[in-house]
């Protein structure tokens, strides 16, 4: 299978050949080095931008997860405190009721005898 080069592609290749033949070698090397450096810089910038975007996304997710964990911990602590307060109040009420009943029984017994 043969590749047929025709039209603008042939013209571009011929112009490139003429340019490299008519231009001193040092200039060609400098241009090639500049092109390579520009390509490398563009690739590095793209990689840095992608890394920054990924890091920002991960940090956002971590912040959301930490916020959710903090909210859950606060809710659990509040629930535990409420339960402890309710238990303490119930125990105090039971103790007061028992003491009042005993006192009433003692008063009743004292009045009876």
Query: pLDDT tens for residues 10-60?
Result: 666 666 666 556 556 666 677 788 888 899 999 999 999 999 999 999 999
pTM above 0.75, yes or no: no
Give me the pLDDT at residue 7, please.
63
State percent of the chain over pLDDT 90.
Answer: 56
Checking if the pLDDT of 109 tops 90, the result is no
Domain range list for the chain:
9-112
Query: pLDDT tens for residues 50-59?
Result: 999 999 999 9
Helix residue ranges per DSSP H, the chain: 8-22, 25-112
Distance CA 111, CA 113 (A): 6
Give me the pLDDT at residue 1, please.
46
Distance CA 90, CA 84 (A): 10
Sign of CA pseudo-dihedral 96, 100, 106, 109: negative
Query: pLDDT tens for residues 63-80?
Result: 999 999 999 999 999 999
Torsion of CA 77, 78, 84, 87, to 10 degrees: -140
Sequence-separated (6 or more) residues with CB below 8 Å from residue 28: 20
81: which 2 tokens?
Answer: 């405190």
């Amino acid at each position: 299978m043969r590749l047929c080069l025709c039209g603008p592609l042939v013209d571009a290749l011929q112009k490139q050949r003429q340019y490299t033949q008519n231009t001193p070698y040092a200039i060609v090397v400098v241009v090639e080095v500049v092109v390579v450096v520009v390509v490398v810089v563009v690739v590095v910038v793209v990689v840095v931008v992608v890394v920054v975007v990924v890091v920002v996304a991960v940090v956002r997710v971590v912040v959301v997860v930490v916020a959710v964990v903090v909210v859950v911990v606060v809710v659990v602590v509040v629930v535990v405190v409420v339960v402890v307060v309710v238990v303490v109040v119930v125990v105090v009420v039971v103790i007061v009721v028992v003491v009042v009943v005993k006192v009433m029984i003692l008063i009743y017994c004292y009045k009876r005898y």
